Structure 1
């Protein structure tokens, strides 16, 4: 699997076209957001209160405020990513070009860049943008998508490093500024007219931060509406914004031209000291202190909690608030032409054929990028897994080495049969725990799923199926190495029965281990779907496996289980794996030396003596686990990584 390479050659077109005639005007009225916590004694935390906001084309607007002021929450609401659900209540109205819009309308016309946007680490910059183009522009031809990516690489200044992998916090490759531009490029590929960016300069040095702001200014001047949240910009970065909105505890302190903010704060009695960064002053000012706390710099003002409560009222009585109200009123009374949707949400996608095409493109992208990421990370995804499984096979195989078959003595034969059953059970356990390694990677990459799902790129089922297909080869090879080595070292199927030859037994053994791994990975997906952290996943996984193992029939025969726990045997894949392996080694209605295999199966309480039926149940359980995983992802990870 590969992506088409883009040649470094002169390009036509640009992401910086001439100014558009209209652009997108955004207005918001009475935006509020509160969270209710507790069950018996409920408490309400108010995050945003009655905010009125306006942004227009050809402007770069910054949302500033101390930590916890509500910057990211406001950005998420304005972009349609945060709406009322459960204990979260969002109020107010949002308008695009005078028309009141829903969350779906906002998603279909806006793009959003997260502060800590996660990428597939072993993809190159070129591949990252190409796959983004395939996800977002499925209705364009491959040639058109490649041309768009070529233009992006050129305009974002990434041509020189287009074949470098993107990397992440663990895999170092390109610089922070280059990575920011790559992430920005994945959103610009769909040519949005309104762009939301959370903390575009975080983690960058002064030079890189200014470079990113220069790029955003250039984008804004083409007619786009760009809105950023930013924590504590340097003076040079602050001066790059056309408009700013200053928040404190969810209320507006100031909204207007960035250059006028100094005059405003002087007017209300808080002048910015000479040669001092205005944003540093504002953010220090908006953190209240007690009367005894003072700044070391005497030029700075300490503000008490009582004084801070007055600042929103001063803004509401200012000309800058009147300016925002006037702009909103003018905006709502004007007539605009319709706003074009992003190509992903074009009318073509609403047809049956368009819906299928979009799903297939998303599936193919998830498969290709998962496979490519694993293929480049062979040390982490394959080599280590193969070596560990080979080591385990040799160690356990040496313990169960060349297990003896039956003898003429019934007691000794039963003892030998018990040893073989124990070896088969260990095969099941290794295949089960071999899938647990996926907890870490799947937990990390589900953030990518949550964010791309929030952008309307695909749903849980598409992601689950594509991720499984892309990872399948790298999941089965290690466990197949184990099962092959252990099978021949332990000699668990040393006796051939009529019409049941050694090759058949070997293939059935390998198939059972493969299906056990299939079901185990399905369970891992489900566990990742019901846990919100890797630590919790690692805690819950052994607990579920212990219950499944207890009812598998090895430690306690299933007919001896108490009624309150016996129902688990029907959903325990280890039970069917264990039964399939034992039935394969000791087929019913046969003799194993002096032992009747039916008697042995009865002693182990293996009531399902059909190998084929056990295998089919393993397939079905793997599917059921994945269905429930999809449901869990749909319900529990709607906002993962979006906060």
Structure 2
């Protein structure tokens, strides 16, 4: 503003009228958003240009000295007009209005110049001013009014320090200047200034974002070649690993035979074993002995408790409560030592379908045989077992599965492979649950024969449950444990079994398989029974004979109750009916069952009884009297106690009679005596500590023999990694699908978001791109739910059988899930998307981008891994995994603005991996970008950081977000291991 005779201008402004800008900052106040202003000083008019000039004509300066002559020159581009004002000592003397003006600018290496050409000009004097009538000065008023008509020109050449050397020319004025001052025109030095938005500066062009097409093509081709190479590698390895060829063994290596012979035989004793679960009694008072060099078969009908008892003997974790005493060589042994020298073969086969037979057995050998045993010896041991079990010919065949691409080996062959995995370690005690199930008669016999050879040749103790064995298999039994509803019907040497049951009145008919007979017998005697008057002869005054539970009628042979003699032998003649007259006739099966499974009078002295000399009629009379008196007085008369076999008719069922008979037999007493003898011998050898579960390691070693060190953690990890890798490349569809989808969706995304622009729509597209990529990886990691699901039962069984430590299995599984499925796909996808979409083109931003994708993928995979382990049901796991991802997606920052989240719910955002990943990606990309937006008729530039702030993103949060993703990934992987270690424990 003018202060007195001069103008005092604000900072950044100059000129007589204070309208010539000097700095960019001075122009910000004139911009719509108060930012982005530029003071353009090149002299070229863009909208409205202002120039302040000093007259440099020497004669004019001398004439006017000491007063300073100056000129202001202003042009308006839209109106095509200019104004020329002549000032003396900051007072305007005259002015000229120029019309129909055009301007041009020339920019070259040597100099920059501007030219103004105006067709019309009109000048006026300011009365009584210098040169216009002031006392003592020249008056050029008439000259200006009459002579100045144009055209006029104003030309400048840019010099140093922002000074432009200019000249103003008009024909009449040039003549005047020449006549009076001797110069050709008015010479002036000018400073120009025009405020404008930065995008309006002449020559301003936004950098054109160049997309490197050759690079894109190369990256896509490279990723495709990588996938092809993976396919070829998978094909080569799968072909190569199937051909093992002959096994070359060193004849001097006797480690395998040493394993079989260098051990202490283990005798197993148990007494008063009971088991109940959920208030139901499963086993009651079970006792028995299993000796080395013998095989014991556990027989019984379905539901008799065979498998439960076998689990208890093998020290498996049971859900119910177990009671009883167990001894090994007369000593109590803790579970850890015990499990190291026993093997257990489950009824259900659980093996990896992608491994061959040899690889499956060899894995068991490598993990469980002694650490100092050479690989050649382990190979030899595997070869021997394969030969013994008759699976040598299929050793290179895949296990296979019904769901897989190939069916693989048969069910019977799988059974033998499962047995081989335990036999390969040559355990001191071997337990097998239904080892012959699924096998034909020939192979079933071979399996049992192999077990017999193992037991007798190497003094092993073999115990197994079996269902309906053939007679040639039964002949191989050394001991038998017969169960019925969890109670012992017989436990002892098999050679005494048939005589024992003959003695107590249950004779196996000629031609019957005694094992089938005994199992059927336990099923028939389980039904509670009390004789009725109709079932006993003479109770109704009837003289007809009837066959009841206590009948001593001789059992007919198989020939007499089969074929054409059934009617004749069972139904009888009209005068000799087998049931009371007037009653409905029984079926053939009922008659046969009655004949076979009704207790008969013994013809020999039974263990614990007197010789049988009671006639048939007396027995029948006793039974009749017992029924009558029981109903009258509620008690059993003394004469009924004279039963020749000590089987009291007061028992609630024939099963109780059988159990009572065994418990009072000499065989049961012998088992008890054997147990006590073993305990006394152990006490004599080891001292009074015997029988206690607490002792030092040497005490346990004395009972079980010397143990051996198994392979350490690093070796376990290597073996399991090899197995996991084989499983991965032989079933490569998941891995190849991840790679193929990564390439296809990367190309599709690159096409849809090709060449992102640095404007508001480009910013929106960046948000959409990053959101889509994270959603893709987040939901693709749901495949981690099945990492352990398919092998859950396998892990539980192998862990229970002591194959390895859980940490080594977990590490192998996680590494071979993380590297091929969680690290490589983000690298492939990011490498294609980044150049195609035109994200910030420098290496630093690119590697940050890839790092965030990888860490996000690992965090999402860790969460799904944890859910997959905790949730046993795959449907529930998928539902929870999807909901967790959707919840996390909600707080990413796109669907819900950070600043709009209620404060009470703001903490939920810290649980969202999508928030950390999304914020890190967008901050990495946009923070240092300058975006444009067309507003107020201008292309306004907007700093990327400003837009990020308006969306609620923290521009300084890149590395904190990266750390948070890493913490999430590590935390959930650790939680997944803890869940696996705690939850995936065998409970039978």
Paired residues of 1:464 and 1:626 also in contact (CA < 8 A):
no
Larger mean CA deviation between 532-541 and 332-341 belongs to: 332-341
Paired residues of 1:81 and 1:107 also in contact (CA < 8 A):
no
Corresponding position: 1:112 with 2:465: no
TM-superposed CA distance for 1:374, in Å, is 0.9
Larger Rg: 2
- Residue 258 of structure 1 aligns with which residue? 494
Q: Which structure 2 residues correspond to residues 326-365 of structure 1 after superposition, within 5 A?
A: 326-335=673-682, 346=708, 358-365=712-719
1:31-60 Cα distance to aligned partner (Å, 9 max, x none)? 222224xxxxxxx22222232221001111
Q: Which structure 2 residues correspond to residues 16-95 of structure 1 after superposition, within 5 A?
A: 23-36=265-278, 44-82=279-317, 88-95=320-327
- Residue 533 of structure 1 aligns with which residue? 873
Query: Which of 308, 321, 335 matches 1:103?
Result: 335
- The separation in 2 between residues aligned to 1:150 and 1:284, in whole angstroms, is 40
Q: Which structure 2 residues correspond to residues 189-268 of structure 1 after superposition, within 5 A?
A: 189-222=424-457, 223-268=459-504
Query: Which of 370, 374, 386 matches 2:739?
Result: 386
Larger mean CA deviation between 125-134 and 224-233 belongs to: 125-134
1:296-355 Cα distance to aligned partner (Å, 9 max, x none)? 363225799843344333322223322321221222222479558698x63x56xxxxxx
1:478-513 Cα distance to aligned partner (Å, 9 max, x none)? 73487248725972xx243xxxx3444443333322
- Cα gap change, 1:556 to 1:333, in 2 (>3 Å): same
Paired residues of 2:266 and 2:291 also in contact (CA < 8 A):
yes
- Cα gap change, 1:19 to 1:481, in 2 (>3 Å): closer
Corresponding position: 1:300 with 2:598: no
- Cα gap change, 1:221 to 1:585, in 2 (>3 Å): same
- Residue 277 of structure 1 aligns with which residue? 513
Paired residues of 2:331 and 2:703 also in contact (CA < 8 A):
no
For structure 1, list consecutive stretches of 5 or more residues without a partner in the other structure.
37-43, 350-356, 408-412
- Cα gap change, 1:551 to 1:270, in 2 (>3 Å): farther
- The separation in 2 between residues aligned to 1:295 and 1:631, in whole angstroms, is 61
- Residue 41 of structure 1 aligns with which residue? none
1:428-479 Cα distance to aligned partner (Å, 9 max, x none)? 1211222222323421212222222223333332221111223344314773
Query: Which of 357, 363, 375 matches 2:729?
Result: 375
TM-superposed CA distance for 1:630, in Å, is 1.5
- The separation in 2 between residues aligned to 1:332 and 1:180, in whole angstroms, is 37
- Residue 354 of structure 1 aligns with which residue? none
Paired residues of 2:890 and 2:896 also in contact (CA < 8 A):
yes
Paired residues of 1:246 and 1:253 also in contact (CA < 8 A):
yes
1:342-399 Cα distance to aligned partner (Å, 9 max, x none)? 98x63x56xxxxxxx6111111111111011111222x3433343445455566666x
Residue aligned with 1:298, SS: helix
- Cα gap change, 1:151 to 1:273, in 2 (>3 Å): closer
- Residue 754 of structure 2 aligns with which residue? 402
TM-superposed CA distance for 1:558, in Å, is 4.4
TM-superposed CA distance for 1:191, in Å, is 2.5
Corresponding position: 1:548 with 2:888: yes
1:266-316 Cα distance to aligned partner (Å, 9 max, x none)? 444444344333333333443445889978363225799843344333322
- The separation in 1 between residues aligned to 2:767 and 2:247, in whole angstroms, is 62
Larger mean CA deviation between 196-205 and 121-130 belongs to: 121-130
Paired residues of 1:121 and 1:166 also in contact (CA < 8 A):
yes
TM-superposed CA distance for 1:595, in Å, is 3.2
- Residue 577 of structure 1 aligns with which residue? 917
- The separation in 2 between residues aligned to 1:240 and 1:533, in whole angstroms, is 43
- The separation in 1 between residues aligned to 2:301 and 2:748, in whole angstroms, is 57
- Residue 366 of structure 1 aligns with which residue? 720
- The separation in 2 between residues aligned to 1:305 and 1:396, in whole angstroms, is 79
Residue aligned with 1:244, SS: strand
Query: Which of 906, 909, 930 matches 1:591?
Result: 930
Larger mean CA deviation between 164-173 and 460-469 belongs to: 164-173
Residue aligned with 2:788, SS: helix
Paired residues of 2:310 and 2:431 also in contact (CA < 8 A):
yes
Which structure's residues are more often helix, by fraction?
A: 1
Paired residues of 2:431 and 2:464 also in contact (CA < 8 A):
yes
Paired residues of 1:25 and 1:96 also in contact (CA < 8 A):
yes
1:39-98 Cα distance to aligned partner (Å, 9 max, x none)? xxxxx2222223222100111111222333222222222112226xxx632222211111
- Residue 812 of structure 2 aligns with which residue? 466
- Residue 205 of structure 2 aligns with which residue? none
Which structure's residues are more often strand, by fraction?
A: 2
Residue aligned with 2:592, SS: coil
1:517-543 Cα distance to aligned partner (Å, 9 max, x none)? 222222222112212232332232223
Residue aligned with 2:971, SS: helix
Corresponding position: 1:487 with 2:854: no
Larger mean CA deviation between 15-24 and 558-567 belongs to: 15-24
Larger mean CA deviation between 183-192 and 202-211 belongs to: 183-192
Paired residues of 2:297 and 2:477 also in contact (CA < 8 A):
yes
- Residue 949 of structure 2 aligns with which residue? 602
- Cα gap change, 1:601 to 1:284, in 2 (>3 Å): farther
Query: Which of 955, 961, 966 matches 1:614?
Result: 961
- Residue 140 of structure 1 aligns with which residue? 373
Residue aligned with 1:28, SS: strand
Larger mean CA deviation between 183-192 and 169-178 belongs to: 169-178
- Residue 662 of structure 2 aligns with which residue? 315
- Residue 579 of structure 2 aligns with which residue? none
For structure 2, list consecutive stretches of 5 or more residues without a partner in the other structure.
1-236, 530-583, 599-650, 687-700, 933-940
1:579-602 Cα distance to aligned partner (Å, 9 max, x none)? 222222223x54333333223333
Of the two structures, which has the highest relative contact order with CA contacts closer than 8 Å and spacing of 6 or more? 1
Query: Which of 103, 125, 130 matches 2:362?
Result: 130
TM-superposed CA distance for 1:120, in Å, is 2.2
- The separation in 1 between residues aligned to 2:764 and 2:354, in whole angstroms, is 47
Paired residues of 1:16 and 1:219 also in contact (CA < 8 A):
no
- Residue 784 of structure 2 aligns with which residue? 438
Paired residues of 1:80 and 1:102 also in contact (CA < 8 A):
no
For normalisation by structure 1, the TM-score amounts to: 0.84
Paired residues of 2:357 and 2:417 also in contact (CA < 8 A):
yes
TM-superposed CA distance for 1:604, in Å, is 3.6
Paired residues of 1:389 and 1:478 also in contact (CA < 8 A):
no
Paired residues of 1:63 and 1:245 also in contact (CA < 8 A):
yes
- Residue 212 of structure 2 aligns with which residue? none
- The separation in 2 between residues aligned to 1:16 and 1:199, in whole angstroms, is 29
- The separation in 2 between residues aligned to 1:268 and 1:279, in whole angstroms, is 17
TM-superposed CA distance for 1:560, in Å, is 4.3
Paired residues of 1:8 and 1:159 also in contact (CA < 8 A):
no
- The RMSD of aligned alpha carbons is 3.5
